[in-house]
Amino acid sequence: MKQAGAVLSVKNITKRFGGLVAVSNMSFDVAEHEMVGIIGPNGSGKTTMINMISGVFAPTDGRISLRGRLISDAAPQIIAREGVGRTFQLVRLLPGLSVLENVMAGAVYGHKRRWGREAEDFAHSVLERVGMDAMSHAPVSSLTYIDQKRVELARTLAGEPKVLLLDEWLAGLNPTELETGIELIHNLRNEGRTIVMVEHVMDAIRSLCDRCVVMSSGAKIADGTTDDVLSDQDVIRAYLGDDDA
C-alpha cells in the first residue's frame, strides 16, 4: 500500500473522544505533487483527520509521518515548521493586523524563516499570486468572505508548506466566488503542490482531485481515482442511503 515517494503517510490512525470513535483505523498515503480529496458525509471524521495531521490533537492510536519523520505526537508549531500548512473550516484571520502582516505571519515562523524586508517582499509576492496584493494595507475587517479566504490561503502558502491542508476551503462561497476559488486551487495544483483537501463541493472535487479517500462514520470506505470512487456503490450508499444505491 505504501508507495515510494509518499510525502504524507497516515497509518492505522484512530481517534476516540471518550466513548465516541471519531476516526477508526484510517490509512492513506499522499504522493508528491498529488492532490487528494477527503470526502464523506457530514460527521464522518474528515475535519478530525485534518486536525490530527496538523497537530490540533494527537491520535489515540497510529502514526502519521511526513517524509518518513513521525509527526503524530508533535505540537502544532513543530508540525508547521516541518512543513504542514493548513487553512481552517471557518476562516481565521488576525483581526488587529493588516492584510500584509497576516500573510507575513505565515512567512516568518515556518520552515523557511524570513524576517524584515525579505518577509515583506515574500508576503507581497504570495498576495499577488492569490490576487490580493492591491489590498495589502487594508484592515482585514474590510474584506469580503472570499477575500478573507484568499488572505488565509496566502498566509498558509507563505510558509511554503510541503503539504497543504485545505479544510472546506470552498464552503460558503457564492457561485461566482466559487469559480474564482476553484481556479485559484487549480493554479496551485498546476504548480505541482502536494494538497489534501476536505471538500463537499462535488464539481470542485471532480475537476481538482487526482484521487479521493472516502470516509464514512470515521472509517475509510474507498480510496482510488476520483472517477472510480464517485461511481463506487459503497460511496453512493454512504451519501444517499440504501434505496438509491
Partner 1 sequence: MNPATVQELIWAGVLVALAAFWPMMSNGYWLGIGVDVMMYTALATSWMLFSGPTHYISLASAAFFGVGGFVVGSGMSDYDASFWSMLALSAVIGGVLAALIGLATLRLSGVYFVIFTLGLAEMIRNLVSWVQNNFLGSRGLYVLTEFTDAHLYWMLLLTAGCVYLLGWIISRSRLGFALRIIGGDETVARHVGINTAMAKVILFTTTGVFGAIVGAIIAPRWSYIEPNQVFSPQLSFFVVIMALLGGSGRLWGPVVGVIPFLLIWNWVDSNFPNQSILVLGVAFLVIVYFLPHGFVGRIEQLRARARGR
> Is position 41 an interface residue for partner 1 (rule: CB under 8 A)?
no
Instruction: Choose between 17 and 115: whose C-beta lies nearer to partner 1.
Output: 115
Distance CA 106, CA 86 (A): 10
How many Cβ atoms sit within 10 Å of the Cβ of residue 56? 15
83-112: which residues touch partner 1 (CB under 8 A)? 85-86, 88, 92-97, 101, 104-106, 108-111
> Is position 80 an interface residue for partner 1 (rule: CB under 8 A)?
yes
Sign, Cα dihedral of 91, 96, 102, 106: negative
Q: Given its phi and psi angles, is residue 25 left (phi above 0), alpha (psi -120 to 50 degrees) or beta? A: left
Rounded least distance, CB 135 to partner 1, Å = 18
> Is position 162 an interface residue for partner 1 (rule: CB under 8 A)?
no
Rounded least distance, CB 11 to partner 1, Å = 23
> Is position 159 an interface residue for partner 1 (rule: CB under 8 A)?
yes
Distance CA 69, CA 7 (A): 10
In 50-95, which ranges are E strands? Answer: 61-66, 69-70, 84-86
Distance CA 243, CA 227 (A): 22
Q: For residue 168, give the C-alpha cell.
A: 472546506
Instruction: Choose between 34 and 101: whose C-beta lies nearer to partner 1.
Output: 101
Rounded least distance, CB 138 to partner 1, Å = 15
Using CB under 8 A, list all residues that contact partner 1: 54-56, 75-77, 80-81, 85-86, 88, 92-97, 101, 104-106, 108-111, 113, 115, 155, 159
